[in-house]
Amino acid sequence: MAAARARSGERRAEILRAALEVIAERGYRGATLGAVAERVGLTQQGLLHYFPTKEALLVAVLEERDQWDTGGGTREGWRLDLLGSLVDYNAMRPGIVQTFSALLGESVTEGHPARAFFTRRYAQVREEMASVLRAEYGDRLPGGLTPEQAAPLLTAVMDGLQYQWLLDPESVDMPAAFRDFLGLLGAR
């Protein structure tokens, strides 16, 4: 069959895309291998040929998502004014934001396979944020905080706004609110 001509790498990418959608809709625990398989025209058992367990599929989704989040590059090179644009960009991708937010919420439950991933990720994001802030402002921001104090707040605002926005996009202007916060950090 012509469709079967797709190389293995493409098939895996298709599956990851489908998994991202299904997780956005139902979370990881609520997602089923069957639902993901159906979206790519495979049986559930056919899908297990590419990812041997449901957990392996989640891990692959997380690894890919972490790259997307940084726009392909590292967060290392970021500048503060790019953060606002990142939030603009996220506001155009509700599906991705929803996958991420659903997984973050689930990850605090016991034995969740994404827990270690998120713990590690946040430690890293806080460090990178602090370093971006230090590059911009030095050891003390105009608002009075140190980069290390501001970093967890910056991260918290991004995540917290995402939930409010996902639940009620009409009422919450996520990018504007985030810029308000950036203004607060940088106001002298």
Residues near its own copies (CB under 8 A) are: 24-27, 29-30, 98, 101-110, 115, 118-119, 122-123, 126, 143-145, 149-150, 152-153, 155-161, 163-164, 166-168, 171-172, 177, 180-181, 183-185, 187
Nearer to its own copies, 46 or 88 (CB): 88
Binding to DNA, residues 2-61 (CB under 7 A): 3-8, 11, 31-35, 41-46, 48-50, 52-55
Residue 60 site contact among DNA, its own copies, none (CB < 5 to 8 Å, cut-off depends on kind):
none
Does 92 bind DNA (CB under 7 A)? Our answer is no
Residue 8 site contact among DNA, its own copies, none (CB < 5 to 8 Å, cut-off depends on kind):
DNA
User: 132 and 162 in contact (C-beta within 8 Å)?
Assistant: no
Torsions phi, psi of 51, nearest 5?
A: -130, 115
Nearer to DNA, 12 or 179 (CB): 12
Does 142 bind DNA (CB under 7 A)? Our answer is no
Residue 155 site contact among DNA, its own copies, none (CB < 5 to 8 Å, cut-off depends on kind):
its own copies
Distances from the Cα of 186 to the Cαs of 15, 107, 133, 139, 141, in angstroms? Answer: 43, 32, 10, 13, 6
Alpha-carbon gap, residue 127 to 149, rounded angstroms:
11
Minimum CB separation of residue 101 from DNA in Å reads 20
- Contact set with DNA (CB under 7 A): 1, 3-8, 11, 31-35, 41-46, 48-50, 52-55
